[in-house]
Structure 1
Amino acid sequence: MTRLIQTLSEISTDYDALFVDLWGCVHNGIKAFPDACAALQTYRAGGGKVVLVTNSPRPWRSVAQQIKEFGVPDDAYDAIATSGDSARLAMYLGVVGEKVHHIGDKFKDDFMQPMDLATDEAVQITEVPLEEAEGIVCSGPEDPLADPEVYRPQFLYAKQKGLKLLCANPDIVVDRGEVREWCAGALAALYTEMGGESLYFGKPHPPIYDLARRRLAQLGQIDDNRILCIGDGIGTDVMGGIGEGLDVLFITGGLAAKEFGPDPVNPDPERLKLWLSEQNLSPTAAISFLR
């Protein structure tokens, strides 16, 4: 049964490392959450390791710069694992071919940066129009406020050609401040629904957890039973962490906040219990906001 807690410190001594989601947990897409940052700083001061595990389609250095601008302190974390890096690695290993059509102008320059993989398996990637493509790479919709259905004609053509779609961010939506935006995961879901093949490399899928564990291993060897995943996405953070056999702290005040009553700071325990039962998922613990 999921335990409802008030502060991270109530359970943090049971863990030597945290895999922490960013959007909705540490920042809102505009600015950092001071209480969340303070909780992570305190945890690290006590010897714990923090790996930020995010479905951002950006390379980790780009994410580090972005969250610095949001006000996330450097001493709130040790390392970053991004869905973008996991997907870029797959792209440069040729999983969707060498000639790719990219969807997502916002992160195009970051995502298409060359990678030195030091392996003979690496391929030379060329960005081309859809008509010339061997595969599709999606880091997000060009307009995050537009209905993903606008891509249906392109996807119908791509499906008929048998193109695979590499999804750099499995999130369906995020809240940027008070505005809800579509993510690459919504486009990938549409393509799959239409009969196309979508490849995922972020939460809840295994590749990003493999990357997070490798980032953590560079800081020291820590067993899985001493790792706690933290996030607000039931279908990404919670499902992914449980699928990896890791303990999970669910942030109720994020994407699903309205499910647990009118006061996000004080989620209704009975509504939380019923909702988690409907999701058929049982995180180790839940907290309104990371603090």
Structure 2
Amino acid sequence: MTDIIRSLSDLTGRYDAVFCDLWGCLHNGQTAYPAAVSALQAFRSTGGRVVLLTNAPRPKSSVIRQLDGLGVPRDAYDLVVTSGDAAQMGMLSGAVGRRVHHIGAPKDEVFFTDFAEDLAAYAATQPPITRVPLRDAEGIVCTGLRDDLTETPDDYRASLLLGKTLGLPMLCANPDIIVDMGDKRLYCAGALAKAYEDMGGTALYFGKPHPPIYDLARRRLAETGLTDAQILCIGDGIFTDIQGGIGEGLDTLFITGGLEADRFGPDVENPDPARLDAWLGAKELSPTFAMGRLR
């Protein structure tokens, strides 16, 4: 049974660290949520560590710059770990070959050039990654749609069919299917990867709910001196944040007022328990806790 709580402070003293999602929890792509910022600052003030764990397909430095622009103060978190970071490790290791074709937006170009310190050291020991046209590639690196404001996965059908015909594996740098930017719903790399798999292609995933991003987050958390931590995973994605946390054996806090905000009654801040239980039962997932919006 999922317990509905009023605020993160209800759990004070139970967890050493949180793995907190970004979109739908801390911001909406346009502005930060003040109550969520305050909740994370308060958690840190009690000695807890905050790891922002995001399926953003870009390296952590790019995400930190974005957070600065959205007004998220740096005292609200300790670390940022991205799906892009984990996917970069996969790419550098040759998971989809060394000649790759990129599908993604101009903003994602940093995926190929900007590496965190631990990944930069590893990259220096590996053969170079070369970007090539699709017909010359050994694999595909997908960071998202080229223009997620106007495009849908249907716009990529021809390219995906060609990649599948050529037998190219796809590295998906963001398993999310959709995100909400303000009141607009956008497709992510995960939507293209799903379409590719539906055609019979092979996709490799490195973000939530898959293990590589959690392995990287735990390693970076341990490097701060915190080992064997009690961790709470916070997120609004039932099949990413919550399923991923459960798969890692961690407690989870489902933010009902994010992607699924219209499912649990008219009061977004106070989800209806009966509706929530019925919906979670249909999904066959049981978060440890639930909350309307992070606060």
TM, length-normalised to structure 2: 0.95
Give the Å deviation of 1:274.
Answer: 0.4
Whether the aligned pair in 1 keeps the contact of 2:92 and 2:123 (CA below 8 Å) is no
CA deviation digits over 1:14-58, x for unaligned, max 9? 101000001110011011100000010011011000110000011
Structure 1 counterpart of 2:268: 264
Distance 2:124 2:54 in 1: 29
> Is 2:237 the partner of 1:233?
yes
Whether the aligned pair in 1 keeps the contact of 2:18 and 2:49 (CA below 8 Å) is yes
Give the Å deviation of 1:11.
Answer: 1.2
Query: Which of 218, 224, 231 is the equivalent residue of 1:219?
Result: 224
> Is 2:49 the partner of 1:49?
yes
Higher mean C-alpha deviation, range 105-114 or range 34-43: 105-114
Structure 2 counterpart of 1:36: 36
Letter in 2 for 1:248: T
- The DSSP-based 3-state class of the residue aligned with 1:187 is helix
**Unaligned regions of 5+ residues in structure 1, if any?**
none
Q: How many residues align?
A: 290
Whether the aligned pair in 2 keeps the contact of 1:104 and 1:142 (CA below 8 Å) is yes
Letter in 2 for 1:8: L
**Unaligned regions of 5+ residues in structure 2, if any?**
none
- In structure 2, the CA distance between the partners of 1:114 and 1:122, relative to structure 1 (3 Å rule), is farther
TM, length-normalised to structure 1: 0.97
Distance 1:39 1:123 in 2: 44
Letter in 2 for 1:80: V
Give the Å deviation of 1:152.
Answer: 1.4
- The DSSP-based 3-state class of the residue aligned with 1:85 is helix
- The DSSP-based 3-state class of the residue aligned with 1:166 is strand
Whether the aligned pair in 1 keeps the contact of 2:57 and 2:108 (CA below 8 Å) is no
RMSD, aligned α-carbons: 1.3
- In structure 2, the CA distance between the partners of 1:119 and 1:83, relative to structure 1 (3 Å rule), is closer
- The DSSP-based 3-state class of the residue aligned with 1:158 is helix
- In structure 2, the CA distance between the partners of 1:237 and 1:97, relative to structure 1 (3 Å rule), is same
Structure 1 counterpart of 2:190: 185
Letter in 2 for 1:135: G
Distance 1:107 1:216 in 2: 28
